[in-house]
């Protein structure tokens, strides 16, 4: 409403200078510093979201299996892996903040250039007695009001891009295929007694390096 209203008021003062403002405004969309910063910030926000997910998953895995980590004396390696992922997250977060911070100043620079162009065109028109000094002052005021909504929109683009990057991970999870169900001929465990018996079990990671041979174990209910 602000944009439409200011265009009407400017057109009532001078249609030609109004056309300059309206025609130059779309150029800000293709203004390369703004376009580049938006592209890079979205990319960094995506990396940030992915790395944050990796860090959360790694932390949950290590804390959930802390007894296993301690049993295999893996604390130092786990800390090293955590620091590496955390450093990547810090790097992506810093870059995302940097590039997203460029967007709004780049937009303001572009519209300040439009404001300067209107001031020059209006001054020439004022010199040629096409408009008065009062009309030029009003025109500049309307031009400033016209650019404010665009500047405010770019101010929230950062949060919007961050939200899109985070939402993409949510939808990626939703689109994941379902886990493969059991085979139709699989047997259902009915009325388990808690007794586990292993008979003549062989196991090895490599066929040429035997590890477990002819294992026989019988565990009664309640035993470990």
User: Per-residue pLDDT tens for 12-70?
Assistant: 877 888 887 777 776 665 555 556 667 788 888 889 988 998 999 999 999 999 999 99
Residue 127: Cβ within 10 Å count: 9
Give yes or no for a contact between 140 and 8, defined as CB atoms under 8 angstroms apart: no
Instruction: Give the residue-averaged pLDDT of 217-222.
Output: 92
Kindly report, residue by residue over 147-176, the tens digit of the pLDDT. Answer: 788 777 776 777 787 788 888 888 888 888
Instruction: Give the distance, in angstroms, between the CA of residue 6 and the centroid of all CA atoms in the same chain.
Output: 34
Q: What is the dihedral of CA 195, 201, 205, 206, to 10 degrees?
A: -170
**Side-chain-facing half-sphere of 186: CA atoms under 13 Å:** 7
Rounded to the nearest 5 degrees, what angle is found at the Cα of 11, between the Cα atoms of 9 and 15? 160
Give yes or no for a contact between 126 and 132, defined as CB atoms under 8 angstroms apart: yes
Task: Please give the pLDDT value at position 64.
Answer: 92
Task: Please give the pLDDT value at position 28.
Answer: 63
Model pTM above 0.75: no
Between residues 157 and 140, which one has the greater pLDDT?
Answer: 140
Task: Please give the pLDDT value at position 67.
Answer: 92
Between residues 183 and 60, which one has the greater pLDDT?
Answer: 60
Give yes or no for a contact between 101 and 154, defined as CB atoms under 8 angstroms apart: no
Task: Please give the pLDDT value at position 31.
Answer: 58
Please report which confidence band the pLDDT of residue 114 belongs to, taking 50, 70 and 90 as the band edges: confident
First to last CA, the chain: 73
How many helices (H) and strands (E) would you count in the chain? 6, 2
Kindly report, residue by residue over 97-113, the tens digit of the pLDDT. Answer: 888 888 777 777 777 88
Nearest to 210 by CA among 198, 202, 218: 202
Give yes or no for a contact between 169 and 49, defined as CB atoms under 8 angstroms apart: yes
Supply the mean pLDDT for the chain. Answer: 84
Between residues 163 and 80, which one has the greater pLDDT?
Answer: 80
Give yes or no for a contact between 14 and 130, defined as CB atoms under 8 angstroms apart: yes
Q: How far apart are CA 212 and CA 210, in angstroms?
A: 6
**Side-chain-facing half-sphere of 9: CA atoms under 13 Å:** 18
Instruction: Give the residue-averaged pLDDT of 140-145.
Output: 82
Is pLDDT of 128 > 60?
yes
Task: Please give the pLDDT value at position 30.
Answer: 59
């Amino acid at each position: 409403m602000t944009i439409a209203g200011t265009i009407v008021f400017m057109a009532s003062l001078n249609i030609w200078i109004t056309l300059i403002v309206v025609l130059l405004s779309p150029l800000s969309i293709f203004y390369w510093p703004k376009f580049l910063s938006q592209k890079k910030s979205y990319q960094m926000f995506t990396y940030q979201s992915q790395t944050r997910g990796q860090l959360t998953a790694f932390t949950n895995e290590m804390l959930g299996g802390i007894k296993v980590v301690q049993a295999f004396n893996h604390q130092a390696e786990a800390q090293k892996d955590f620091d590496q992922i955390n450093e990547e997250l810090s790097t992506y977060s810093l870059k995302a903040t940097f590039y997203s911070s460029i967007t709004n100043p780049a937009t303001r620079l572009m519209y300040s250039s439009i404001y300067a162009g209107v001031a020059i065109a209006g001054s020439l028109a004022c010199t040629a007695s096409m408009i008065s000094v009062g009309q030029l002052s009003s025109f500049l005021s309307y031009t400033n009001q016209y650019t404010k909504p665009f500047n405010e929109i770019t101010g929230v683009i950062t949060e919007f891009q961050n939200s899109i990057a985070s939402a993409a991970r949510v939808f990626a999870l939703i689109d994941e295929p379902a886990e493969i169900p059991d085979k139709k001929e699989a047997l259902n465990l009915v009325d388990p007694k808690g007794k586990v018996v292993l008979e003549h079990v062989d196991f090895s990671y490599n066929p040429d390096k035997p590890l477990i041979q002819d294992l026989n174990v019988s565990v009664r209910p309640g035993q470990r």
